[in-house]
């Protein structure tokens, strides 16, 4: 058993469902402290965060990850207990095996071994570990970033260990993420008997043309790194439950996943313009939950891509698809943020797993990236 495998198993055995870290960060902290890291626990609400740093000079590379996991669902539907790390058919099974306790273990072991082999390397290595990534994410990495910002600590590079590979380890690096902007739209009408439509105002009928226009709108054309911005309805509801009543209100929840070709201000302005053009009586509440970030090709992408090629022979593609991640917080203080980790196939699923054959190469890729940047 290699050290990364052992550490991954130790972490999976902790039932650290958001925001409960259990003992995960204590396990990580003891290993990092033994390697010479200065470690600090930053608590916020029910969330435990770890900030650790080795070295004082620049450049500073930060490994970022989370110890919390999503609930396992019914344990009886798993082939083996979700919080008992289990090996079968060449895979390590357990909640967090892919998202993202194996990545955390690989980053810790890679940093430890790199420091042992190169104690006089030119730079610093940091860790941001949270137990609030899978939840609402208000007391996790965002709090750590604000703390570092107040102290004047601004990393030069960050690797977030989120699962990023699609079909085989190393085929994809996430060099950015789209932003997320949610809207809760209420269109007001007048409730009445369905047999007397002239005495009522049907908000569904009024809103339908506007919703069709919003769905057909081309918000932008994307750019070199991003697909075009997407607008999607996620929830729609009206009515009292009776089939003979015209409803008085229509509720629509929608979401923008937007790229750097658009701004929040412009998207809001264009939505309001469409709704106003259709003469709707409405209320629209906004929730801006994710900031888009982008790391163009440069020193970090090159160092990580080179490490992947050296270890696996795979040439990775850069991608900005998928949901949000904690990279959106770190990008506020760090100019180069990427995500790289195991295959995404089983994340958040029953019988979540990662390939045993990928564990050592993942560790080697993180370590080789340090070598490419610091030696």
Kindly report, residue by residue over 138-178, the tens digit of the pLDDT. 999 999 999 999 999 999 999 999 999 999 999 999 999 99
* 191 and 139 share one domain: no
Q: What is the Cα–Cα distance from 372 to 306, expressed in whole angstroms?
A: 8
Tell me what pLDDT residue 324 has.
80
* 56 and 118 share one domain: yes
Chain-centre distance for alpha carbon 299: 22
Which residues are registered as beta bridge partners of 3? none
pLDDT above 80 for 296: yes
Domain ranges, residue 258: 179-290
* 28 and 128 share one domain: yes
* 144 and 209 share one domain: no
CA-nearest of 220, 176, 166 to 343 is: 166
Catalytic residue among 68, 132, 142, 352: 68
Residue 40 in 3-state DSSP? strand
Q: What is the number of domains present in the chain?
A: 2
Tell me what pLDDT residue 167 has.
97
Kindly report, residue by residue over 237-256, the tens digit of the pLDDT. 999 999 999 999 999 999 99
Q: What is the Cα–Cα distance from 101 to 108, expressed in whole angstroms?
A: 11
Could you tell me the sign of the dihedral formed by the alpha carbons of 137, 143, 145, 149, in that order?
positive
Q: What torsion do the CA atoms of 258, 103, 357, 365 make, to the nearest 10 degrees?
A: 80
* 302 and 209 share one domain: no
Kindly report, residue by residue over 51-65, the tens digit of the pLDDT. 999 999 999 999 999
Q: What is the CATH number of the domain that holds 317?
A: 3.40.630.10
Catalytic residue among 113, 132, 133, 352: 133
Which residues are registered as beta bridge partners of 287? 182
* 25 and 81 share one domain: yes
Known binding-site residues for Zn(2+) equal 66, 99, 134, 162, 348
Place of tokens 């929840």: 253
Residue 366 token pair: 């993180």
* 166 and 314 share one domain: yes
Tell me what pLDDT residue 321 has.
87
Backbone angles phi, psi at 323, to 5 degrees: -85, -160
* 218 and 279 share one domain: yes
How many percent of the chain have pLDDT more than 90?
Answer: 95
Last residue of a domain, one of 254, 274, 290: 290
Mean pLDDT value across residues 213-229: 95
Mean pLDDT value across residues 107-124: 98
pTM, 2 dp: 0.88
Chain-centre distance for alpha carbon 363: 21
Q: What is the Cα–Cα distance from 358 to 342, expressed in whole angstroms?
A: 8
Place of tokens 């937007």: 258
More confident residue, 100 or 135: 100
Pairing of strands 317-319, 172-174: parallel
* 299 and 346 share one domain: yes
Q: What is the Cα–Cα distance from 194 to 257, expressed in whole angstroms?
A: 37
Residue 191 in 3-state DSSP? coil
Known binding-site residues equal 66, 99, 134, 162, 348
Q: What is the Cα–Cα distance from 12 to 107, expressed in whole angstroms?
A: 15
* 274 and 211 share one domain: yes
Pairing of strands 60-66, 157-160: parallel
Confidence of residue 327 (pLDDT cuts 50, 70, 90): very high
CB neighbour list of residue 138: distance below 8 Å, 6 or more residues apart: 45, 132
* 187 and 273 share one domain: yes
Pairing of strands 157-160, 337-339: parallel
Note whether 18 and 135 are within 8 A (CB).
Answer: yes
Q: Is 20 a catalytic site residue?
A: no
Kindly report, residue by residue over 24-44, the tens digit of the pLDDT. 999 999 999 999 999 999 999
Last residue of a domain, one of 239, 273, 290: 290
Kindly report, residue by residue over 262-295, the tens digit of the pLDDT. 999 999 999 999 999 999 999 999 999 778 889 9
DSSP state of 97: T
The 10 Å CB-count burial string (b at 16+, else e) for 105-115 is bbbbbbbbbbb
Last residue of a domain, one of 273, 290, 307: 290
Tell me what pLDDT residue 323 has.
77
Tell me what pLDDT residue 342 has.
98
* 217 and 302 share one domain: no
Confidence of residue 136 (pLDDT cuts 50, 70, 90): confident
Place of tokens 């911005």: 229
Note whether 256 and 231 are within 8 A (CB).
Answer: yes
Average pLDDT, the chain: 96
Tell me what pLDDT residue 291 has.
80
Q: Is 68 a catalytic site residue?
A: yes
Mean pLDDT value across residues 369-375: 98
Q: What is the CATH number of the domain that holds 286?
A: 3.30.70.360
């Amino acid at each position: 058993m290699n050290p990364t495998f052992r550490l991954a198993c130790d972490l999976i055995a902790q039932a650290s469902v958001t925001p409960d870290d259990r003992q995960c960060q204590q396990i990580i902290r003891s290993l990092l402290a033994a390697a010479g890291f200065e470690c600090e626990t930053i608590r916020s609400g029910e969330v435990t965060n770890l900030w650790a740093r080795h070295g004082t000079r620049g450049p500073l590379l930060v490994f970022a990850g989370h110890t919390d996991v999503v609930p396992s669902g019914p344990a009886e539907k798993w082939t083996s207990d979700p919080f008992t790390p289990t090996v079968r058919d060449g895979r390590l099974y357990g909640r967090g095996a892919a998202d993202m306790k194996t990545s955390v273990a690989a980053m810790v072991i890679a940093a430890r071994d790199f420091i042992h082999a190169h104690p006089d390397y030119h730079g610093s290595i940091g860790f941001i570990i949270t137990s609030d990534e899978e939840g609402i994410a208000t007391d996790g990495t965002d709090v750590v970033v604000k703390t570092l910002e107040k102290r004047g600590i601004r990393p030069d590079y960050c690797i977030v260990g989120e699962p990023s590979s699609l079909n085989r380890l190393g085929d994809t690096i996430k060099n950015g993420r789209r932003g997320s902007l949610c809207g809760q739209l209420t269109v007001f009408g007048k409730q009445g008997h369905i047999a007397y439509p002239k005495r009522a105002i049907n908000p569904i009928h009024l809103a339908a043309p506007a919703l069709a226009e919003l769905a057909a709108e081309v918000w932008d054309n994307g750019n070199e790194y991003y697909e075009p911005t997407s607008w999607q309805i996620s929830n729609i509801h009206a009515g009292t439950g009776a089939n003979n009543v015209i409803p008085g209100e229509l509720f629509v929840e929608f979401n923008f996943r937007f790229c750097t070709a658009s701004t929040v201000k412009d998207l809001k302005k264009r939505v309001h313009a469409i709704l106003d053009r259709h003469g709707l009586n409405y209320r629209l509440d906004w929730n801006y939950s994710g900031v888009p970030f982008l790391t163009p090709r440069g020193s970090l992408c090159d160092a990580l891509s080179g490490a992947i090629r050296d270890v696996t022979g795979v040439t990775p593609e850069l991608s900005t698809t998928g949901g949000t991640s904690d990279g959106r917080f770190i990008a506020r203080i760090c100019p180069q943020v990427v995500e790289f980790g195991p295959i995404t196939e089983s994340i958040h699923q029953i019988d979540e797993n990662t390939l045993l054959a990928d564990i050592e190469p993942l560790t080697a890729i993180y370590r080789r990236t340090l070598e490419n940047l610091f030696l």
